[in-house]
């Protein structure tokens, strides 16, 4: 799946190159190949942790199965466990846990070569009155 | 479980799960609203509380209408947990 077809985000803020729906409306995975010419990458070749979180949030948007777009409303207990560098393949995963009204909670992870670099909860807001 | 004991447990759960570092259990009035004018929680707190209650007690608060009833006060929440706990 091409992520930008399922997200409102556009280059250079699409943080995923590919995505896969594991279970419709609940579970998705994403992949980003971190390249040196990516505008998000610093001169030191680091893909900033804030963008790792954004990649987890965009994976959550795809996991939701909703096409309406959403806003990142909150983060819960995010932990960073490693640095993402140029040349790395960032793999994200998001599982929908629970919603309350238009607020949806997802448990997310981000890994490089099987090693966890970030994990935590992402809260997205979907305007369900629209 | 006695309701009074559960109220104390829920105070600790709310403080821990919502990271209310400046709030003591004794600061929470069991009869006061949890949201808005009472403890001053917001809609994101409500979602985090829904997740924490499900993980801790296995209870579901399926929608905002049920939430309004369950989150009316700490006392009301304790009653809801006792009634729906698995």
Look up the CATH number of the domain holding residue A94. 3.10.129.10
Q: How confident is the model at residue A2 (pLDDT cuts 50, 70, 90)?
A: confident
Q: Which domain holds residue A76?
A: 3-125
In a domain, A103, yes or no: yes
Calculated CA dihedral for residues B28, B34, B37, B43, nearest 10 degrees: 140
CB contact A67 to B (< 8 Å):
no
Q: How confident is the model at residue A76 (pLDDT cuts 50, 70, 90)?
A: very high
Domains of chain B are: 3-84 (1.10.1200.10)
State whether ipTM is beyond 0.85: no
pTM: 0.88
Sheet holding A115-125, edge to edge: A18-23, A27-33, A89-100, A103-112, A115-125, A71-80
Better pLDDT: A10 or A96: A96
In a domain, A112, yes or no: yes
Number of domains in chain A: 1
In a domain, A108, yes or no: yes
Distance between A98 CA and the closest CA of chain B, angstroms? 7
Distance between B29 CA and the closest CA of chain A, angstroms? 24
CB contact A56 to B (< 8 Å):
no
Prior bond of A12 cis (ω within 30°)? yes
Q: What integer pLDDT is reported at residue A59 of this predicted model?
A: 97
Q: What integer pLDDT is reported at residue B39 of this predicted model?
A: 79
Contact A103 B63 (CB under 8 A): no
Q: Which of B17, B35, B42, B51 to mutate to test the interface with A (most CBs of A within 10 A)?
A: B51
Q: What angle do CA A93, A99, A104 make, to 5 degrees?
A: 50
Of the candidates B44, B61, B64, the beta carbon closest to that of A123 is on B44
Tell me which residues of chain B, numbers 4 to 43, contact chain A at a CB-CB cutoff of 8 Å.
Answer: 43
Q: What integer pLDDT is reported at residue B40 of this predicted model?
A: 80
CB contact A74 to B (< 8 Å):
yes
In a domain, A78, yes or no: yes
> How far is residue B13's CA from residue A125's CA, in Å, rounded to a whole number?
24
Contact B48 A76 (CB under 8 A): yes
CB contact B44 to A (< 8 Å):
yes
Over range B15-32, report the average pLDDT: 92
CB contact B1 to A (< 8 Å):
no
In a domain, A85, yes or no: yes
In a domain, A91, yes or no: yes
CB contact B69 to A (< 8 Å):
no
In a domain, A130, yes or no: no
**pLDDT tens-place string over residues A18-60:** 999 999 999 999 999 999 999 999 999 999 999 999 999 999 9
């Amino acid at each position: 799946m091409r992520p930008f077809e399922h997200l409102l985000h556009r280059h250079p803020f699409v943080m995923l190159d590919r995505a896969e729906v594991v279970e419709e409306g609940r579970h998705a995975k994403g992949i980003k190949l971190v390249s040196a010419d990516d505008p998000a990458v610093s001169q030191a070749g680091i893909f900033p942790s804030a963008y790792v979180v954004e990649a987890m949030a965009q994976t959550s948007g795809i996991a939701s199965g909703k096409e309406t777009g959403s806003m990142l409303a909150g983060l819960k207990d995010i932990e960073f466990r490693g640095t993402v560098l140029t040349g790395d393949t960032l793999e994200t995963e998001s599982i929908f846990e629970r919603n309350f009204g238009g607020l949806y909670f997802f448990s997310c992870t981000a890994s490089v070569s099987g090693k966890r670099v970030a994990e935590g909860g992402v809260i997205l807001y979907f305007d369900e009155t629209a | 479980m006695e309701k009074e004991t559960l109220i104390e447990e829920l105070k600790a759960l709310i403080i821990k799960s919502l990271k209310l570092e400046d709030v003591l259990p004794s600061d929470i009035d069991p009869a006061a609203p949890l949201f808005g004018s009472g403890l001053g929680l917001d809609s994101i707190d409500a979602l985090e509380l829904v997740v924490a209650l499900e993980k801790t007690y296995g209870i579901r608060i399926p929608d905002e209408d049920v939430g309004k009833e369950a989150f009316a006060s700490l006392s009301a929440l304790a009653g809801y947990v006792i009634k729906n706990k698995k």
